[in-house]
Chains A and B, each alone.
Chain A
Amino acid sequence: MSYSGIPEPDYKSLFEQAPGLYMILDHNLRIVAASDAYLRATLTRREEIIGRYVFDVFPEYPDDDADADEVVPKSMASFKKVLKTGLADSMDIQRHDVRRPESEGGGFEVRYWSPVNSPILNPDGSTAYIFHRVENVTDYVMLKQKGLEQEKVTDKLLGQAFKMEADLYSRSREAAEISLELKQANQELKKHRSHLEKLVRERTAGLKAVNEQLLREIEERKHAEEEAHARREWLRVTLASIGDAVIATDSDGLVTFITPAATELTGRKSGEAIGRPIQQVFRIIDEKTRKPAENIIERVISEGIVINLAANTVLIAHGGREIPIEDSAAPIRDSSGNLIGVVLVFHDVTEKRRAQETLRQREEEFRALVENAPDVISLFDRNLRRIYVNSEIRENTGQNSSFMIGKSLTEAGYPDSFTKPLNAALQSVFATGSEETVELDYEAPKGRIWLQIRCAPLRTADGSVERVMSIGRDITDRKKMEEELRKSHEELEIRVRERTAELSATVERLELMNKELQDFAFVASHDLQEPLRKIQTFSDMTMKNCAHSLGEKGKEYLGRVVKSAERMRQLLHDLLQFSRIASRPDVFKIIDLGSIVRVAVDYYEPSILETGAKIEIEDIPAIEGDEIQMLQLFQNLIGNALRYRSEEAPLIKIYSEYHTPGTCEVLVADNGIGFAQEYSDLIFKPFQRLHGRGQYEGTGMGLAICRKIVERHGGMIRVESQPGKGSTFVISLPLKHSNVETGIAKAGF
Chain B
Amino acid sequence: MQKQAFRTVLMADDDPEDCLLANEALVETGAVAAFTCVGDGIELMEYLYEHSSSSEKKKPNLILLDLNMPKKDGRKALAEIKSEPALQDIPIVILTTSREPEDLALMLRNGAESFFTKPASFDGWISMMKSLAEKWLG
Interface residues of A (CB under 8 A from B): 526, 529-530, 533-534, 536-538, 540-541, 544, 569
Contacts and interface: CB of A to CB of B under 8 A. Distances in A.
A534 B17 contact: yes
B80 interface: no
Contacts of A544: 122
A536 B120 CA distance: 6
Nearest to B121: A540
B21 interface: yes
Contacts of A569: 120
A540 B97 contact: no
26 contacts: A526-B97, A526-B98, A529-B97, A530-B15, A530-B97, A533-B97, A533-B118, A533-B120, A534-B17, A536-B120, A536-B121, A537-B17, A537-B21, A537-B119, A537-B120, A537-B121, A537-B122, A537-B125, A538-B17, A540-B121, A540-B122, A540-B123, A541-B24, A541-B122, A544-B122, A569-B120
A537 B120 CA distance: 6
Nearest to A628: B101
A526 B118 CA distance: 13
Contacts of B119: 537
Contacts of B120: 533, 536-537, 569
A726 to B, nearest CB: 34
Interface of B: 15, 17, 21, 24, 97-98, 118-123, 125
A536 B21 CA distance: 12
A541 B125 CA distance: 11
Nearest first, the 3 closest Cβ-Cβ pairs linking A and B are A541-B122, A540-B121, A540-B122
B101 to A, nearest CB: 9
A291 to B, nearest CB: 121
Nearest to B125: A537
Contacts of B122: 537, 540-541, 544
Of the listed residues A533, A534, A536, A569, the one surrounded by the most CB atoms of chain B closer than 10 A to its CB is A533
A623 B122 CA distance: 44
B68 to A, nearest CB: 9
Contacts of B15: 530
B25 to A, nearest CB: 10
Nearest to B102: A585
Contacts of A534: 17
A526 B67 CA distance: 14
Nearest to B100: A580
B129 to A, nearest CB: 13
A537 B123 CA distance: 9
A541 B122 CA distance: 6
A540 B21 CA distance: 12
Contacts of A530: 15, 97
A534 B16 CA distance: 11
A12 B51 CA distance: 163
A696 B30 CA distance: 42
A71 B17 CA distance: 172
Given A537-B120, A540-B122, 16 more contacts: A526-B97, A529-B97, A530-B15, A533-B97, A533-B118, A533-B120, A534-B17, A537-B17, A537-B119, A537-B122, A537-B125, A540-B123, A541-B24, A541-B122, A544-B122, A569-B120
Contacts of B97: 526, 529-530, 533
A534 B121 CA distance: 8
Contacts of A536: 120-121
A529 B125 CA distance: 16
A534 B119 CA distance: 10
Contacts of A529: 97
Contacts of A526: 97-98
Contacts of A533: 97, 118, 120
B69 to A, nearest CB: 13
A206 B118 CA distance: 163
A544 B126 CA distance: 13
Contacts of B21: 537
A224 B121 CA distance: 145
B65 to A, nearest CB: 16
A514 to B, nearest CB: 21
Contacts of A538: 17
Nearest to A536: B120
A454 B43 CA distance: 92
Contacts of B24: 541
B15 to A, nearest CB: 7
A541 to B, nearest CB: 5
Of the listed residues B21, B24, B121, the one surrounded by the most CB atoms of chain A closer than 10 A to its CB is B121
Nearest to B15: A530
A565 to B, nearest CB: 9
Nearest to B99: A576
A540 to B, nearest CB: 5
Contacts of B98: 526
Contacts of B123: 540
A530 B96 CA distance: 10
A529 B17 CA distance: 14
B2 to A, nearest CB: 28
Of the listed residues A533, A537, A541, A544, the one surrounded by the most CB atoms of chain B closer than 10 A to its CB is A537
Nearest to A565: B120
A526 B98 CA distance: 8
A140 B122 CA distance: 183
A585 to B, nearest CB: 10
Nearest to A543: B122
A526 B121 CA distance: 17
A512 to B, nearest CB: 23
A658 to B, nearest CB: 34
A536 B97 CA distance: 15
Nearest to A545: B122
Contacts of B125: 537
B1 to A, nearest CB: 22
Contacts of A541: 24, 122
B94 to A, nearest CB: 16
A201 to B, nearest CB: 154
A559 to B, nearest CB: 14
Nearest to B18: A534
A170 to B, nearest CB: 196
A621 to B, nearest CB: 27
A428 B109 CA distance: 81
B136 to A, nearest CB: 23
A522 B119 CA distance: 20
A175 B138 CA distance: 211
A81 to B, nearest CB: 140
A541 B97 CA distance: 20
Contacts of B121: 536-537, 540
A614 B21 CA distance: 44
Contacts of B118: 533
Nearest to B98: A526
